[in-house]
Amino acid sequence: MRQPGEVTTTAEPRAFSYAPTQPPSSSYAPTQPSSSGSPQPSSSGPPQSPSSASPQSPGTTEDATRRQELAAFLRSRRERISPEQVGLVRGARRRTPGLRREEVAHLSAVGVTWYTWLEQGRAIRVSAQVLDAIARALLMDPTERGHLFVLAGVVDPRPDYDCPLLSPTALRLMHTIAPYPATLQNARYDVLAHNRPFAQVFGELTELPPRERNCLWLLTTSKRWRETFLDRDEMLRDLIAKYRAGMAEHVAEPAWKERLDGLLAESAEFRELWGRHEVATMSPHVKRYRHAEVGLLSLEHRNLWMAPQPQAHRLVAYVPADEETEVRLGRLAELRGE
């Protein structure tokens, strides 16, 4: 799970893959400047445990490019933060724009050596915990934080799922589609927002607890959706197959696992279908719905991704597949005084 924008397909960035060269020590000694003036790691080793960061072999050209981009990004974020913004005293002789490297290391509770290696583009692997601390120290917003984790090739353990950022443009586009139903969803089929026609056809989701505002959850558990969706069984099997295919790129992410665990615990039907190990891709399709006031609706599901990132939102529009559905959606809007 970009808007308005081009329909794009991207893959999750690869994590770095290097072989260890020198095991890090749990002890730490201050760095010493080299003859060139650049900080060098001390003989006592870096300040972190092997689980948080470890030296790596250089890897591929692509890996090296990513490391250099990460290094440049960290330097740019460090240089824009003033000491006063993070509660430090500037001092009379400061010539460094923004924060010093050792100040970022101190604020992040990581070693100066390891942070210096990051800004030098060294071939090291850094844990999610270290990246989280650095993102906090550099006052990164959710977009910058996400970019940091992507460049490092590390899964963010705390992505911004609970408070997704929906742009005014995306919301405006969603409402402009009326009288056609439309939603903004993420890759896990969480419904982040919907327009009034969607509520008129499928129900008002804001009345549900946040964890239940998910198409896969509703298709599995909702009595109303079971009775309204004429192709419900086929839709559920297809959606489970799509979720499995999508989860392959997010298998370590807590939000994906939490959703899966909840469905497995809730529904024997879901457990049986999940056990088939079927996969499917995203594609336009027509489904039929029975509406109590206007009758049969045949709607084609169309997806428009709003940004190139894999975690970005998509606009899902439910477009009439025939003239009768077009007329009935218009009639439904008139009945509701719109």
Q: Which residues of 154-181 are buried (b: 16+ CB within 10 A; e: fewer)?
A: bbbeebebeebeeeeebbebbeebbbbb
Average pLDDT, the chain: 79
| Residue 250 reports pLDDT greater than 90 | no
Give the H/E segment covering residue 150.
helix 142-152
H/E stretch holding 268 reads helix 268-274
Query: Measuring CA to CA, which residue among 136, 133, 129 is closest to residue 86?
Result: 136
Whether residue 263 has pLDDT greater than 60: yes
Please state, in angstroms and rounded to a whole number, the distance separating the CA atoms of residues 44 and 118: 18
Interatomic CA distance for residues 199 and 183, integer angstroms: 10
Residues 144-158, mean pLDDT to the nearest whole number: 82
Contact 113, 41 (CB under 8 A): yes
Residue 337: band (very low, low, confident or very high) from pLDDT cuts 50, 70, 90: confident
What is the band of 261 on the pLDDT scale with cuts at 50, 70, 90?
very high
Kind plus residue range of the DSSP H or E element containing 288: strand 285-291
Alpha carbons 53 and 114: distance in angstroms, whole number: 8
What's the token pair of residue 72? Answer: 């440049």
As a whole number, mean pLDDT of residues 120-138 equals: 87
In whole angstroms, give the CA distance from residue 273 to residue 282. 18
CA 122 to chain centre: 26
Q: Work out the pLDDT band at 147, boundaries 50, 70, 90.
A: confident
First to last CA, the chain: 31
Contact indicator for 113, 31 with CB cutoff of 8 Å = yes
- Determine the Cα–Cα distance for residues 46 and 122; give it in Å rounded to an integer: 13
Give the model confidence (pLDDT) of 161-182 as tens digits: 444 567 788 899 999 999 999 9
pLDDT for the residue numbered 214: 96
- DSSP code of 336? T
Distance CA 156, CA 88 (A): 28
| N residues, the chain | 338
pLDDT (0 to 100) of residue 37 = 41
DSSP string, 38-86: -EE--TT--SS-TTTEEE-----HHHHHHHHHHHHHHHHHHHH--GGGG
- Can you give the pLDDT at residue 69? 87
Q: Where residue 36 falls among pLDDT bands split at 50, 70, 90?
A: very low
What does the pLDDT average to over 14-21?
38
Q: How many Cβ atoms are within 10 Å of 244's Cβ, its own excluded?
A: 17
**What is the distance between the alpha carbons of residues 220 and 79, in angstroms, rounded to a whole number?**
50
Q: Tens digit of pLDDT for each residue in 268-304?
A: 999 999 999 999 988 888 999 999 999 999 999 999 8
CA 49 to chain CA mean position, Å:
28
Q: Taking a C-beta distance cutoff of 8 angstroms, is the pair 119, 100 a contact? A: no
Tell me what pLDDT residue 269 has: 97
Find tokens 């460049």 and name the residue. 151
Residue identified by tokens 């993070």 is: 86
194 and 314 in contact (C-beta within 8 Å)? no
CA distance 230 to 21: 60
Where helices occur in the chain by DSSP H, the ranges are 61-80, 101-108, 112-119, 128-137, 142-152, 168-176, 196-202, 215-221, 223-228, 232-247, 254-266, 268-274, 323-335
Q: Which domains does the chain have, with CATH numbers?
A: 32-152 (1.10.260.40), 168-335 (3.30.450.180)
Give the pLDDT score at 164: 53
DSSP secondary structure letter of residue 168: H
